[in-house]
Structure 1
Amino acid sequence: MVFSSISSTEQVTWQWREGQGFSYLQCRLLEEFPHGFFTRHFGDYSLDELTQILTPDATAYRTKQVHGKQVVSPSQIMAAKTEFLEADGLGSDGRNQALWVASADCTPALIADVKTQQVAAVHAGWRGTALSILPCAIAQFLDQNSQLSDLRVALGPAISGEVYQVGLDVAAQVGRSLFPEEANLSSDEILKQLWESDVSPLIQDPDPAKVRLDVRCVNRLQLEKMGFHPEQIAIAPHCTYQESEHFFSYRRSREKAVQWSGIVSTA
């Protein structure tokens, strides 16, 4: 099984670990931070129970994910008057904080600063990617005195480009995020540039009105346009749609279920 935009080097960057009798995935880029990408087998566990596997002393935080670009802090969650704050990203602002994201084919992204020890967890589906949620999260790090060269990003298991069929309009919406300085480009012009790029996030589909879209590739290209070096980014060589033994996939089953995909914690 070969996934577009994922190199053999990236495949050895990821390792399976054991917790509560099941496996979860870790990325070597974040090896100094308690973190993991969990599988469907952990679906019956609470966030507090899962947090105990990696950081027993940490408090778990989550949001109500709405496919937007809002990134909030645990302090904002604590101050909110609603049960769950609507946001698709969490950025740390203290110690012993475990930040969670859930996904069901969307990309769970974990970010860490190796110098300041700040972390973030981001839910980046196609809509959030079109809104540049990852660059928004990175901007918050930079606003808090992080240096771009100190940041590490792990893009966890998600639906791979080779099986993610979307309409041309969706591909153009997502692709537009790579050309923020060219607001007047038409959808056709955006798609043309994506096809002609050195690393294209598009794959041909038998239906001429459709295309296969590699959302994680777009996430990576967004970061590289910000100045990230490729070695600061890792993409998990796993597809939620194709690996039913490990991952829940909404597109595969059309079933609404919880898969607590990513956690990263501060010390």
Structure 2
Amino acid sequence: MSRRGGVSHGAVAGLNCGFGAGDDPVAVAENRRLAANAVLPGAALIGLHQVHSADVVTVRDAWGDDARPHADAMVTDRPGVLLGILTADCAPVLLADAEAGVVGAAHAGWRGAQGGVVANTVAAMVALGARLDHIAAAVGPCIGQASYEVGTDMRAAFAERDAAFFREGEPGRWWFDLAGYVARAIVDSGVRAPEVAGRDTYAEPALFYSYRRATHLGEPTYGRQLSLVGLR
């Protein structure tokens, strides 16, 4: 989802769905309710305390916002459960095997993506009965390569096979293609090529929240988009 709609005001005006943005908790709860009802009315919205890991949780029962596990992906085969991933530049990944009735959602920043969060999510779905050739995947809006300048330390953390996702800029600087890197991780996991939104959260302030943009502008906080997938 984008930031359009919602009841938040100020720096996070719109559909801010992150409690960690310093927003009015009542407004955040209402935004989350609006978002969930737009996708799967009446479903239990499940979230995580995201920590840029490769850890995946299998959801069998709903938990409250105060009991969120520390992880960056979820899978479930339970109808009426809506998996929600928060992002503000990182890539949300949504996966579904409609035939098996298994869905997954992952928060993929570069650390999590490099650490295997996508492959781990797919493996957890397969453990619930999903088939690789039946899984559809999508990579949602995230920071675009034209907005994602990185330094030597980050470039050095990647292997030579990843060179295609870095465009060289000024000396010691590169531009990183996060969406492309995550899309390849999906294919490497055995799933067919995903749909990629191709929207740059940094470059579209009217539509998306962005951690990096807020930091560059010296803003006091930033909102979070919510990406959702569930089973009826």
Structures share a fold, TM > 0.5?
Answer: yes
Pair 1:111 & 2:95 matched:
yes
What RMSD in Å do the two structures reach over aligned CA positions? 2.6
| 2:225 alignment partner, SS class | coil
- Label 1:152 to 1:114 Cα distance change in 2 as closer, same or farther (>3 A): same
Give 2:226's aligned residue: 261
- Label 1:21 to 1:63 Cα distance change in 2 as closer, same or farther (>3 A): closer
Give 1:46's aligned residue: 31
Q: 1:139 aligns with which of 118, 123, 127?
A: 123
- Label 1:40 to 1:209 Cα distance change in 2 as closer, same or farther (>3 A): farther
Distance 1:137 1:172 in 2: 26
What does the per-residue CA deviation read over 1:82-130, in whole Å, with 9 as the maximum and x for residues that have no partner? 6321111111131100110111100011111121121111100111112
Pair 1:194 & 2:162 matched:
yes
| 1:149 alignment partner, SS class | helix
Alignment of structure 1 residues 159-238 onto 2, 5 Å: 159-173=143-157, 175=158, 190-191=159-160, 193-195=161-163, 200-206=164-170, 208-230=171-193, 233-238=194-199
- How far does residue 21 in structure 1 lie from its aligned partner after superposition? 8.2
Distance 2:192 2:40 in 1: 29
- How far does residue 76 in structure 1 lie from its aligned partner after superposition? 6.4
What does the per-residue CA deviation read over 1:15-53, in whole Å, with 9 as the maximum and x for residues that have no partner? x99x9689xxxxxxxxxxxxxxxx973124432332112
Give 1:62's aligned residue: 47
The residue type paired with residue 201 of structure 1 is F
Distance 1:103 1:247 in 2: 10
Q: Retained in 1: the 8 A contact 2:93–2:137?
A: yes
Q: Retained in 1: the 8 A contact 2:86–2:225?
A: yes
- Label 1:50 to 1:227 Cα distance change in 2 as closer, same or farther (>3 A): closer
- Label 1:121 to 1:40 Cα distance change in 2 as closer, same or farther (>3 A): farther
5+ residue gaps, structure 2, are 17-26
Distance 1:61 1:229 in 2: 26
Q: Retained in 2: the 8 A contact 1:77–1:85?
A: no
Q: 2:200 aligns with which of 221, 239, 260?
A: 239
- How far does residue 218 in structure 1 lie from its aligned partner after superposition? 1.1
- How far does residue 157 in structure 1 lie from its aligned partner after superposition? 0.4
Q: How many corresponding residue pairs?
A: 211
Distance 2:168 2:129 in 1: 42
| 1:261 alignment partner, SS class | strand
Distance 1:154 1:148 in 2: 14
Distance 1:137 1:161 in 2: 24
| 1:50 alignment partner, SS class | helix
Q: Retained in 2: the 8 A contact 1:64–1:88?
A: yes
Distance 2:106 2:80 in 1: 18
- How far does residue 228 in structure 1 lie from its aligned partner after superposition? 3.0
Give 1:96's aligned residue: 80
| 2:174 alignment partner, SS class | strand
Q: Retained in 2: the 8 A contact 1:201–1:213?
A: yes
Q: Retained in 1: the 8 A contact 2:77–2:231?
A: no
Q: Retained in 1: the 8 A contact 2:208–2:225?
A: no
- Percent identity for Structure 1 against Structure 2: 24
- How far does residue 64 in structure 1 lie from its aligned partner after superposition? 0.6
Distance 2:41 2:68 in 1: 23
TM-score by length of 2: 0.81
